[in-house]
Each structure stands twice: as C-alpha cells, then as structure tokens.
Amino acid sequence: MGTDTVMSGRVRKDLSKTNPNGNIPENRSNSRKKIQRRSKKTLICPVQKLFDTCKKVFADGKSGTVPSQENIEMLRAVLDEIKPEDVGVNPKMSYFRSTVTGRSPLVTYLHIYACHRFSICIFCLPPSGVIPLHNHPEMTVFSKLLFGTMHIKSYDWVPDSPQPSSDTRLAKVKVDSDFTAPCDTSILYPADGGNMHCFTAKTACAVLDVIGPPYSDPAGRHCTYYFDYPFSSFSGIVFETFSMICVRI
Ligand SMILES: [Fe+2]
C-alpha cells in the first residue's frame, strides 16, 4: 500500500499544463492548488483513509500501548464507514463458499498491510466457518463485520484468581452474541474487551481486522489457541460469577 494520496486522473491531467517556461501561471496555479486541496479532501479512498488513520493511531507501536480515547474514536469512525466494495469483497466470491464436506469450512486470510506498528487484514468465512478461540497479547484490535451474521464469543482473564491446575486459568465471558452487518465496530484491549475470542459464521461473513501492534514472535506477541471448558467441569472450585475455564493448548 502506498502512502500517496489518491487523486482523480482529471485533476492530474489539468495540473500537467504549464506555460512555455515549464511553470504553471500564478493565477492558474493558485486555482489548481485549490482544486488539488479540494480533491484531496473528497477523493481519498476509504482504504487510504484507513491506512493514514492507522499511522496516526498506532504511531507508538509498543506492546500493550492502548491508543487514546480520541484516537480510538477516530479509527472506529473510519471503520464504521467502510463497505465491502471498498475492500473488494462480496459474498459471491469463492472464499465464501463451503467446498469441503464433513469438515469445518476453510477460512481465508486476505492480507492488506502489515508493519511493526499495525496490520490490516480480512478474514473470509463461509457459512459455519470458525476461527477458534485465540488471544491478542498486548494488542488493541478493531474488528469490523463487513457483511453476514457472526457469533462472537470472547473472554478476559480473571486477574489474581487461583489456578485450577498448571495449564488452566479462569476467564470470564465478555461477549456471547450474534452480530449482523451493518453493526458497530468491536474493539478489544490488552486486558479487557474480550481479548480472547472465537468467531463462528452463521452465514458467509467477512471481517476487517486492524491490529496494533501486530503479532510478532520476536517481540513475544505469539498467537495462542485455547479450549474452553464449562466451569462445572472443575469440581471443588466455586466462583459462581465466572462461567468458564480456559485451557492452553
Ligand atoms: Fe482475533
């Protein structure tokens, strides 16, 4: 993805007209600068706008840094405006068809952009497609459902809770609901908002994800998958307000 602002071909062509010295006459130059400014305002494509906004919002790029509330709202507003056609996906594409029987349908990852500060991608899920329960260590994640109906179940760790065993930890449910596009962009944070989540497609779905900072093994931000077990599976432990135990795979 480039960093240049997108402009119309017509404006570019007009700006190429110069006087015999190779310069644009001053009065024409001024009016064309106005056109240029207006064009930059009105013709920036949604993906370019998303990219430019991410550069501002994730300027820090450090593990665990949560953007300011102002920046979060700015990015959320940009994502709320994005439509499937802006990123070139629609439910008729082959990514959203189930081609394998007897197994969970394949989920396709479409890469848009990644740097050390943030990443932008799209997950394409056929009906019944599942992205298993996984975490986002030290990250802030914006998920925009572009189309379809998706069940999202998410959890946060319960801090300072006793561990039932060496490989289990107590987690509490944050979200357990169906979402149908168009709907609000969901946001999760390093320690809350449902940092571990599982997506199950009720229909063909596309999810635009913005992650800052992105997964990085060298930086210690590994993706870990989990099994979740009903709390009642662990006898002898009584935490009535929490509903699940998560087990690291
Ligand atoms: Fe995720």
Mean pLDDT of the chain: 81
CA of 135 to the centre of ligand 1 (A): 7
In-domain check, residue 194: yes
How far away, in angstroms, is 198 Cα from ligand 1 center?
7
What pLDDT does residue 25 have?
47
Let me know if residue 11 belongs to a domain. no
- Residues 31, 60 contacting (CB under 8 angstroms): no
- Confirm whether 188 is domain-assigned: yes
Residues 126 and 152: their CA atoms lie apart, in Å, by 15
Is the pLDDT score of 93 beyond 80? yes
User: Among residues of the chain, what percentage have pLDDT more than 90?
Assistant: 62
Q: Rounded CA gap, 235 and 105, in Å?
A: 35
Nearest 10 degrees: Cα torsion 191, 193, 199, 205 = -130
| Assigned domain for 140 exists | yes
Q: Which residues, including other chains, have CB under 8 Å from residue 39's CB and lie 6 or more apart? A: 7, 8, 11
pLDDT score at 233: 57
Per-residue pLDDT at 68 exceeds 90 = yes
Burial class (CB in 10 A: 0-12, 13-18, 19+), 85: exposed
**Domain assignment present for 9:** no
Nearest to 125 by CA among 98, 152, 88: 98
CATH number at residue 240: 2.60.120.10
pLDDT tens track for 18-61? 344 444 445 555 666 665 555 555 678 999 999 999 999 999 88
How many A from CA of 226 to the centre of ligand 1? Answer: 12
Distance CA(178)–CA(90), nearest Å, equals 20
Domain membership of residue 177 (yes or no) is: yes
Contact in structure between 247 and 196 (CB atoms under 8 Å): no
Rounded Cα–Cα distance for residues 195 and 63 (Å): 14
Helices and strands: H and E segment counts in the chain = 4, 11
Tally of structural domains, the chain: 1
Spatial distance between the Cα atoms of 174 and 152, rounded to a whole number of angstroms: 10
Q: How far is the CA of 188 from the centre of ligand 1 (A)?
A: 9
Question: Crossing angle of helices 46-57/69-81, nearest 10°?
Answer: 170
Parent domain of 53: 46-247
Residue 13 maps to a domain:
no
Q: Is residue 211 part of a domain?
A: yes
Distance (angstroms) between ligand 1 centre and the Cα of 183 equals 17
The percent of residues in the chain predicted with pLDDT above 70, rounded, is 74
pLDDT at residue 186 tops 60: yes
**pLDDT computed for residue 27 by the predictor:** 56
CA of 229 to the centre of ligand 1 (A): 19
- Does residue 83 have a pLDDT over 70? yes
